[in-house]
Structure 1
Amino acid sequence: MIDFKSKYGPWALVAGASEGLGAAFAEIIASKGLNLILIARRQSKLESLAEYLRTTYSVDVATHCADLADFSSIKTLISKSKESIGLLIYNAAYSPIGYFKNIEEENLEQIVDVNIKTPLLLSKLLSKGMIKRQQGGIILMSSLAGSQGSPKITTYAASKAFNTILAEGLWKELKKHGVDVLASRAGAISTPGYKSAQNTGDAPGTLSPKEVASTSLNALGKGPSVIPGSTNKLANFFMNRILPRKWTISIMDKNTKDLS
């Protein structure tokens, strides 16, 4: 068993941590004895979570209300911090729902900024210290939606494909420097955002935030990517190994057409 605190501590940064999956990551990491830096846009939720973690797990928790679409402000925030960050969890994502012809240009730019630019540059920024210390970990939350074209969430899915490939490449590059990198290719997660977008109930294989966070953290250091949930692993096998590509896109079209 890895001594998680020694390998990835003393501080972990969770981007997109106010509720749902980010909060689940934060609690599991706190239970392992790491101090936390939590970043999200909703200060009240961050503070409530931070107080709970401090009281329950006796760890230090710093909160920062920031827009993850603005990397320059995130870089300034991190550069001013004196904490040694040994673990990055990038959970934040922006996913406007609608067909491409109806998505405004500024929304497309925000997808790129939140889902691609910031995780890319934040990984670059924090990995410098990890490489210097010869230890650390990075988890980039990706999605099974990024395994094929996914109508109505087309650009979001494409951004998640980027994160998968980025993490898998970094897994090999940074391994020799003692830094573990993982793409967590999650299916549907029962978060507040997911529930508000669903009109027909949970999709098959939907997991709780705690299940996804626990599976992802347990997989860190064991390979380049993980798919939480046996149903999702099976679905991915058929969708990407057995069925023709045009069938998989049509299946995704049926699964996403009722999102709103």
Structure 2
Amino acid sequence: MTPEEFRETYGPAALVTGASSGIGLAFAEELAARGFDLVLTARRTGHLDALARRLRSSCGVRARVIGADLSDPGAPARLLEETAGDDIGLVVSNAGFNIKGAYETKDTSAMARMLTVNCHAPMQLAHGFIPRLKTRGKGGIVFTASVEGLIGCPYSTAYSASKALVVSLGEGLWGEMQGTGVDVLTLCPGATESEATANMAGIADLQPAAEVARLALDNLREGPTFVPHAHYREMFERLRTMPRREALAGMAQSMKALT
């Protein structure tokens, strides 16, 4: 697909959630470089305002900011209301966070917030945007999940479960959207450069967020799922072919040694 065809199919505007850092920021930058107008949303509007100004100046696109905390169950409905007048052809449902460590040691309220951000928000945004995209007859949705959503991951159990929902959501919708002109891709990155990994020493195979975003957009028609790093693609393909008990026991032993 040429840049012009890409913009014609998925433009003129894109919504990016969690756009203040990490993969969401990289999606915003990559889409602006491809000539997309943007609606950027996250909790930290100061970061978004600075990003919007920079992208307007460097790429000549329109960029507006909607502050939204997706741990509030009502936030997706407000986003849908505030974008009702925008011709959004691409929805990048990227906002999310993780909780690592032994499951019983984690705060239950934090897990509830994580489920709201990681699961409730993408479900509600997809529910609201799909009729709009089907009416247009073209467009796309990108869900940012994780390789940890492909199999239950010990010592990342709650996060892994939340991303498993996103994988299933994206796969199911990919099937439902066949013949509508709406493409659905569930992005399953491994370790990625972000604020969360900035202070973690010794992480191998760390992929730049800009590369993750670029590859996801280049493979938007290659759903239902996409793992952007060869190392993690091979690792999780191997794990999923092993007897499940053996795979989980080995993962638990490896992760326990790191905690």
2:236 is matched with: 236
* SS at 2:197 equivalent: helix
Match for residue 138 of structure 1? 141
What is the one-letter code of the residue matched to 1:141? T
Residue number in structure 2 paired with 1:92: 95
1:165-198 Cα distance to aligned partner (Å, 9 max, x none): 11111111112111000111111101111233x3
1:102 paired to 2:101: no
Residue 150 of structure 2 corresponds to which residue in structure 1? 147
* Runs (5+) with no aligned partner, structure 2: none
SS of residue in 2 equivalent to 1:164: helix
1:189 alignment partner, one of 182, 192, 215: 192
| Alignment partner, residue 79 of structure 2 | 77
Q: Which amino acid aligns with 2:248?
A: I
Q: Find 1:30's aligned residue among 29, 32, 39.
A: 32
Report the 3-state secondary structure (helix = DSSP H, G, I; strand = E; otherwise coil) of the residue aligned with 1:48. Answer: helix
1:254 deviates by: 4.7
Supply the distance in 1 between the matched residues of 2:122 and 2:191 (Cα, whole angstroms): 21
How well do the aligned residues superpose, as a CA RMSD in angstroms? 1.7
Work out whether residues 181 and 221 of structure 1, in 8 Å CA contact, stay in contact via their aligned partners in 2: yes
After TM superposition, give the deviation of residue 255 of structure 1 in Å. 5.0
1:135-166 Cα offsets, whole Å, 9 max, x none, are 11001011111222212220110111111111
- Alpha-carbon distance change, 77 to 185 in structure 1, aligned in 2, over 3 angstroms: closer
Aligned to 1:156: 159
Alpha-carbon distance, 1:104 to partner: 2.3
Compared with structure 1, are the counterparts of its residues 259 and 16 closer, same or farther at alpha carbon in structure 2 (3 Å cutoff)? farther
Q: Which amino acid aligns with 2:25?
A: A
Judge conservation of contact 1:135–1:178 (CA < 8 Å) in 2: yes
- 1:4 maps to 6
Aligned to 1:208: 208
Residue correspondences, number: 256
Secondary structure, counterpart of 2:118 in structure 1 = helix
Shift of 1:223: 2.4
**Corresponding letter in the other structure for 1:79:** E
Is the 2:192–2:206 contact (alpha carbons within 8 Å) kept by the matching residues of 1?
yes
Offset at residue 54 of structure 1 (A): 0.7
Whether the aligned pair in 1 keeps the contact of 2:146 and 2:163 (CA below 8 Å) is yes
User: Paired residue for 2:252?
Assistant: 253
1:106 partner amino acid:
S
> Offset at 1:244?
2.4
CA shift digits 1:84-121 (9 cap, x unpaired): 11111111112122322122221121121001011011
2:70 corresponds in structure 1 to 68
Cα pair distance change 1:259/1:37, threshold 3 Å: farther
The 5 A counterparts of 1:16-55 are 16-55=18-57
Aligned to 2:177, what secondary structure does the other structure show? helix
For structure 1, the 5+ residue unaligned runs are none
Query: Could you tell me which amino acid in structure 1 is paired with residue 224 of structure 2?
Result: P
Q: Secondary structure at the match of 2:231?
A: helix
Amino acid at match of 1:201: G
Change (3 A) 1:190 1:223: same
